[in-house]
Amino acid sequence: MIEVYIDGGSAGDPGPSGVGVLIKGNGVNVNASVPLPPMSNHEAEFHGFIQALKLCKEHELKVLSVRTDSQLLDEAFDKKYVKNEPFKSLLNEALELVENHFDYVFMKWIPSKQNKQADQLAKKAIQKSVEKNGSS
């Protein structure tokens, strides 16, 4: 099983944002820092999951164990439901990717201290976003 660590963050609410994705297992080792436009931290977490799924799809990975430090994302994926309107379309995009491209996707919440590599990648992405957008 492929291990996928994801983290999203923003410098403000909303603010310049980014995601970090770490994929490892079966000879695959991917580290990605993806800058995002200004958004909330929670939105960035959902984008992190979507970005991870797209990267796994590109690498033709079919069975994933996803780790996140976002309880909101973990619960939304588990229940296939999120109350907040802005997150519904993001959750639906992720669920569609899972249904159409993967054999099995398991998500587990982990404490932030166990997600340091993805967090560092997300912080690099936020910095790129700040530099691109000229704000802090």
Q: What pLDDT, on a 0 to 100 scale, did the predictor assign at position 134? A: 62
Q: What pLDDT, on a 0 to 100 scale, did the predictor assign at position 103? A: 97
The model scores a pTM over 0.85: yes
Q: What pLDDT, on a 0 to 100 scale, did the predictor assign at position 136? A: 47
Q: At the fourth CATH level, which superfamily is domain 2-133?
A: Ribonuclease H-like superfamily/Ribonuclease H (3.30.420.10)
Q: What pLDDT, on a 0 to 100 scale, did the predictor assign at position 100? A: 97
Backbone angles phi, psi at 59, to 5 degrees: -90, 5
pLDDT lower than 50: segments of the chain: 136
Helical H segments across the chain, by residue range: 41-58, 71-79, 85-101, 116-133
